[in-house]
Structure 1
Amino acid sequence: MIQIGKVVHLTGLSMKAIKWYEAKGLVQPSRLDNQYRLYGMEDIRRLNEIKLLRQMGISLEQIQTTASVSKLLDSRLDEVQREIEALRQVEQQIKWMQTGGDSMKVRYEIWNRPKIVNGYVSELTTIPFAWEKLQPELTTDESYGVCLAKEEAYLAGMTDPVTGEEGRQVELSAGRYLVATVEGGIPAIPTTYNQLLALPDVTLRDALDFERYIHGQDGADDLIEIWLPVQ
């Protein structure tokens, strides 16, 4: 059994922190008649574990309320991966602003006739549901995500007909479009929209904008494009 002074040396924790963890019920040292604390190797292991978890950004409350360290690590890993993706978006925005938009892959396209898209509609807060409904029927190499802003709705669709009774049809107008390739997958779509709209000399026309998904072959990632109707 080890007294608290030696535990400070073995863990790198302050005496105050060790006593605080004891008060929170995270370690339970033995006590001599003179009230000196004695720590076993399991206490040392637990204190070092707590120190590592705190360094990973896991809160003391989470450590207290979650018995499984594995669950804590899985949860924190999910958070870190989301944080990394958010930082990647920030990095892209910084690079984009540094280059004045030159780093974006953009082009202009002109459609001589409109295109009909058939699909399923969801609210803007439940967009994945529209795609889940479309997925079993998807027969084309590309699909479209259309924001129906006036209805605060979203359509996931394709050029082939859909079979469900809730199916909906929209028309993508003929005319000129500014097209940008999305770098970074679906999470990067909002950032790419913002970057496009920040470009100089872009004047929108009154028509639907949309995302175009060109589906990869043999497990390859989809190519995502944003199409803005412009004058």
Structure 2
Amino acid sequence: MKKDDSYSIGEVARKTGLTERALRFYEEQGLISPARTQGYRRAYDREDLEQLQQVQLLRRAGYSLADIGSLLDACTLNPATVIRLQIAAIKGERDRLSRQIRALEATAADLDQDQEMDVHQLCELIRLGEQSAEQAGWQQVVKDYFSEEDSARWQRATRPLMTEECQQDWAELVARVEKAISAGVAPNSLGAIALAKDWLALQAPMQGAVPGLWQQSAQMMANMEQWSHLARPPFSKAVFDFVTAAVQAGRAQKLLPAAGA
């Protein structure tokens, strides 16, 4: 990477797998400080990517964001040392994370030989680690809304339902809702209520599988802005609010069944 190369927040998000919200959150916490262009857009350089790598790997190793901030303020961490911290943290998950471990060990070996990581390697390290951090983030979020027993029940009941076809159906429906929001469709319109009807139909099998836990799940999604820096929500708060309003409008107009019906 050339010294004057820089990347926008969108480019960094695409290359690393981090969300733009997570990148902004890290900046708000003082963990990264990307430069600004004349148009006041963020411009991430190689040093920012290295800092992001260290933040993400330390998160995976179990450090809190406050501790990470203190560590980064105190010294410049050796990338190979940080990588080995992550390796130590994921040894217990060796089978599931074997690809991540191989990539990290290979990079550490390169660093030991004074070979500089290129941008592709940095981004791939961040991406691989983010996959692990994402799972850890979800575990942290779920603990706030479900007991360990309820979480296990949820997993057992819903996992068989989330087939590849079901996931594709959800992705397509979320995209349709996002398109409606962009087009300025009103949540109380017939078009929005039709989307809400499709939403209720898709979630019905999961709701039926864990009827006693659905309220906690809905509350968790309603509060996603409080935890979206820890785990990536399946859809945006705007989508959730739009569908919620459309469901309420459909029920008020008696176009959708009442709750619990």
User: Which has more helix, going by share of residues?
Assistant: 2
Q: TM-score, normalised by structure 1?
A: 0.30
Considering Cα pairs closer than 8 Å and 6+ residues apart, tell me whether 1 or 2 has the greater RCO.
Answer: 2
User: Which of 1 and 2 has greater Rg?
Assistant: 1
Q: TM-score, normalised by structure 2?
A: 0.28
User: Which has more strand, going by share of residues?
Assistant: 1
